[in-house]
Amino acid sequence: MSNRLINWFRFASPHNFYPLAGRMIPVFWTLSALFGIAGLWMGFFVAPTDAQQGEGYRIIFVHVPTSWLSMFIYMVMATWSGIGLSLNARLSSMMAQALAPTGALMAFLSLWTGAFWGKPMWGTWWVWDARLTSELILFFLYLGFMALQASIDDPRRADKAGAIVALVGAVNVPIIYFSVKWWNTLHQGSSINLAKSSMAVTMLWGMLLMALCFWMYSIAMALTRVRTIILERETHTDWVKELPEVKT
Amino acid sequence: MNAILAVARRDLLMVMRRKSEVLTALFFFVIVTSLFPLGIGPEPTLLRKIAPGVLWVAALLATMLGLQRMFAADHADGTLEQMAISPTPLVMLVVGKIGAHWLVSGLPLVLVAPVLGIQFDLDGSALGVLVVALLLGTPLLSLIGSIGAALTLGVRGGGVLLSLLVLPLFIPALIFGAGAVEAHISGLGAGGHLSLLAAMLALAVFFAPWATTAALRIALE
């Protein structure tokens, strides 16, 4: 019985993880494409036109999933950083590093699509709403993490320094969110109500499918990036030199 | 406790031997705040409205100026390594250094802020709230900043990177610090803001030296 259990620590070594990631990437790309097609079909053809917002609301099928993922990826990144720091696991730090650009992209897309949505709905590209502001700050935190890692030459030191930034940021994200929220409500009161009344079931499904699509995309991207990072950092090892894609 | 005081005294002594560094940050604070009325116009109602925000943003930037020096010199001449291997826990020494940094770059700002507040036509009670808010907020800035200073130790382009890392983390302090004065002026009472600021300070006193120590150990590896 015991020999049928997978030894998860086996995959903590870049040498074993590299081929596994290679096999997982096509799976996640396929899932992403399937969920994407289904989600877009739901979003464009099945979901009804919103009574108040017209057709413009359909941007939420991109906006909401990217916002969710930007926050979720930060959490995952901080978790990997914490594991990397406490267990001194190289691969965990590499995962954190691989996730950061995707997270930053999601935060950026969320802000961008939010602006596109805000212009027709609120009549303005930007308001100092609590959610928008904390999303912007989250984007800054991603940039800080990436900038710090990029400017340290020694990869191990970059990993650890980045891990501390990610963890400090993770502690701060809720504080920032609530402070911005209270700041905003103290100033002008909540002028925008984001809560949608009785959202149609098809809309919700479209959104969930798109969220899954973006989720799978993020995993595929992170795995692709982590494979590149492994190759970069392990060029001196024999197993990398033996790889067919490196030999040619 | 003795170790904390010893490190703090040493840092203060070093600063006193080269006073220009303290004065630079202080004059930076004074000049930046004085620029705003020149740029915006001398209308008292408008100035009173922007005063807390301007003073706080200037205080953030003035704190940033001294942050890089918190560990840089000791790192360069090897003192930091000696501190790391000394029998006293490094956290204690870090607390001492943060305390010294606050005394040098935070406290002068607190003391000079009421004078600048008068320039912005704040009345007496608002000035009092401003001083209390800065008194609670500037140690918070030194504590959070020390994490960034330790992380960017000996890193290429450390100065710019430091601001990129630390400024987003300063936002809560800015919001409640400036908010306290604004709430007081608008008659809401500053108690809530000051309590939250104090709560964040308590949290930072506990966690920040610890994170800074971890970052220093990484830099020293």
Render pLDDT for A89-113 as a digit per residue (tens, 0 to 9): 888 899 999 999 999 999 999 999 8
A35 within a domain of the structure (yes/no): yes
Residue A6: per-residue pLDDT: 66
Yes or no, beta carbons of A172 and B207 under 8 Å apart: no
Q: What is the pLDDT of residues A140-171, one digit of tens each?
A: 999 999 999 888 888 888 888 999 999 988 88
A219, containing H or E segment: helix A201-233
A17 within a domain of the structure (yes/no): no
Residue A1: per-residue pLDDT: 44
Q: What is the pLDDT of residues A219-242, one digit of tens each?
A: 999 999 999 999 888 888 888 888
A7 within a domain of the structure (yes/no): no
- A157 has a chain B CB within 8 A of its CB: yes
pLDDT at B202 over 50: yes
A166 within a domain of the structure (yes/no): yes
Q: Which residue has the tokens 């209390």?
A: B132
CA distance A144 to chain B (A): 5
Residue A187: per-residue pLDDT: 45
Residue A12: per-residue pLDDT: 79
- B143 has a chain A CB within 8 A of its CB: no
A3 within a domain of the structure (yes/no): no
A188 within a domain of the structure (yes/no): yes
CA distance B19 to chain A (A): 31
A144 within a domain of the structure (yes/no): yes
Confidence of residue A3 (pLDDT cuts 50, 70, 90): low
CA distance A176 to chain B (A): 6
Residue-number span of the structural domain to which A98 is assigned: 25-48+55-241
pLDDT at A194 over 70: no
C-alpha distances (whole Å) from A32 to each of A37, A209, A211 are: 9, 9, 10
* DSSP string of B129-176, one letter each residue: HHHHHHHHHHHHHHHHHHHHHHHTTT-TTHHHHHHHHHHHHHHHHHHH
In chain A, whose CA is at the least distance from the CA of B215?
Answer: A161
pLDDT at A51 over 70: no
- Highest average pLDDT, of A10-14, A129-133, B26-30, comes from B26-30
A16 within a domain of the structure (yes/no): no
Yes or no, beta carbons of B164 and A168 under 8 Å apart: no
Yes or no, beta carbons of A182 and B161 under 8 Å apart: no
In chain B, whose CA is at the least distance from the CA of A184?
Answer: B175
- A128 has a chain B CB within 8 A of its CB: no
Q: Residues B150-163: what's their mean pLDDT?
A: 84
Residue A106: per-residue pLDDT: 93
Yes or no, beta carbons of B168 and A144 under 8 Å apart: yes
pLDDT at A190 over 60: no
Domain count along chain A: 1
